[in-house]
């Protein structure tokens, strides 16, 4: 952290600040120029509140040298994190492909889709039981019954299941029933929920908030990790921009940026990013090419009659041909599907 003092600050005042900070175990280096005096703080500055320092009338500005996230930071964990989910590993050369309907609608629907996506090579089954809908009048999901159906589909196919949690009250139930707990974009900053999930050891799929910066995204991962759960998988699913043609704007650069900043695996959800089924294939190919560790793709047997997100859902046959075309792209970046 760097503190720039106002030119008018007296030597006594600067010394006073230096002594105060040194007393907190921080090494303070002082550079005195013609006009400005700059204090360079070295050591663990995490307990220092920059807005308190910035409130000092003699302080011109406070600059951060290091990112505010620690556990999620690659600086302290140079190796990429690999997350074990049953017999699969996320963050390794094999891409984690999570596919399935937006919402669980019936046992017949989910098992039918699960069998098809498994044949095509998907490694995980996704399906929403608790749905975060913009309108309270839209389908809200099958809730607890949906979890039972997901478990039945896992039993039948052996695919680990991924589903979204919305309430901290359900953490125990999800830990028991589910293989990966998804935190949706709308709950990325539900800090009570993140903290509760941090007290478990379950893999958490954390989706980027609708308008979240990469730093805010990583700070949400930090909330989970700071409670002791290091099993966080990030998911870029498009962000809100001025563009309205697509549902969201897929931020492909988030992948290499996050790979630089963090050791956590990151997957891409091209379905919620594009919002239209025909965009899924080109975006998924780009995701693999840019270095994503996996994909989350919505697949529905009857998109026209889907209870949610039909327009962005692939029919199983389309998903199958997508998987085939992804194999070539994966190979080009030393990955496999
Ligand atoms: C979903 O995965 O079904 C979902 C609601 O996604 P998001 O939170 O990214 O909108
Ligand atoms: Mn959806």
| pLDDT tens-digit map of 208-220 | 999 999 999 999 9
Ligand 2 centroid–CA 47 distance in Å is: 40
Model pLDDT, residue 48: 86
Measured by CA distance, the residue closest to atom 10 of ligand 1 is 185
φ/ψ region of 309 (left if φ > 0, alpha if ψ in -120 to 50, else beta) reads left
pLDDT for the residue numbered 43: 85
Which residues lie below 8 Å from residue 331, measured CB to CB, with a gap of 6+?
none
Q: Would you state the pLDDT for residue 277?
A: 98
| Phi, psi (rounded to 5 degrees) for 157 | -110, -20
Instruction: Give the residue from 299, 247, 308, 304 showing the smallest Cα distance to 97.
Output: 299
pLDDT at 216: 98
pLDDT at 64: 87
The beta-strand segments (E) located in 129-251 are 161-165, 180-183, 204-207, 232-236
Given this model, what pLDDT does residue 23 score?
87
pLDDT of residue 318: 98
Q: How far apart are CA 36 and CA 5, in angstroms?
A: 6
Report pLDDT digits (tens) over 126-152: 999 999 999 999 999 999 999 999 999
CB contact set of 142 (below 8 Å; sequence gap of 6+): 103, 104, 105, 129, 149
* pLDDT score of 169: 98
Assess whether the C-beta atom of 214 lies below 6 angstroms from ligand 1. Answer: no
Ligand 1 in reach of 203 Cβ (< 6 A):
no
Weakly modelled stretches of the chain, pLDDT under 50: none
76 alpha carbon – ligand 1 mean position (Å): 31
- Full set of structural domains in the chain with CATH: 2-63 (3.30.70.1140), 83-332 (3.20.20.70)
Dist. CA 236 → ligand 1 center (Å): 11
Ion ligand 2, residues whose Cβ is below 5 A away: 102, 309
Distance of CA 9 to the CA centre of its chain: 44
Atom 1 of ligand 1: nearest residue by CA position: 102
pLDDT at 166: 98
Query: What pLDDT is recorded for position 83?
Result: 98
């Amino acid at each position: 952290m760097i503190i720039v003092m106002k030119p008018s600050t007296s030597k006594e005042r600067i010394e006073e600040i230096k002594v105060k900070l040194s007393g907190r175990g921080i090494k303070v280096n002082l550079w005195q120029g013609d006009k400005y005096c700059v204090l360079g703080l070295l050591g663990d500055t995490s307990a220092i509140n920059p807005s308190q320092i910035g409130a000092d009338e003699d302080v011109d500005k406070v600059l951060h040298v290091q990112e505010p996230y620690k556990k999620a930071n690659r600086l302290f964990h140079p190796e990429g994190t690999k997350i074990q989910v049953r017999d699969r590993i996320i963050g390794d050369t094999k891409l984690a492909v999570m596919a399935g309907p937006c919402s669980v609608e019936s046992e017949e629907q989910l098992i039918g889709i699960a069998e098809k996506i498994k044949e095509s090579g998907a490694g995980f089954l996704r399906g929403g039981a608790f749905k975060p809908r913009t309108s309270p009048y839209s389908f809200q999901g099958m809730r607890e019954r949906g979890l039972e159906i997901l478990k039945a589909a896992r039993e039948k196919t052996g695919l680990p299941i991924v589903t979204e949690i919305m309430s901290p009250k359900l953490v125990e139930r999800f830990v028991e029933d589910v293989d990966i707990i998804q935190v949706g974009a709308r709950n990325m900053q539900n800090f009570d929920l993140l903290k509760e999930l941090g007290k478990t050891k379950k893999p958490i799929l954390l989706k980027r908030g609708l308008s979240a910066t990469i730093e805010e995204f990583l700070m949400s991962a930090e909330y989970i990790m700071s409670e002791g759960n290091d099993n966080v998988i990030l998911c870029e699913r498009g962000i809100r921009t001025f563009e309205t043609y697509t549902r969201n704007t897929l931020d492909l650069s988030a992948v290499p940026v996050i790979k630089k900043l963090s050791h956590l695996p990151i997957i891409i959800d091209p379905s919620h990013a594009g919002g239209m089924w025909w965009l899924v294939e080109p975006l998924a190919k780009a995701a693999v090419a840019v270095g994503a560790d996996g994909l989350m793709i919505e697949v529905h047997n009857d998109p026209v009659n889907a209870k949610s997100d039909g327009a962005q859902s692939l029919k199983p046959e389309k998903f199958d041909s997508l998987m085939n075309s992804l194999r070539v792209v994966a190979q080009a970046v030393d990955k496999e599907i």
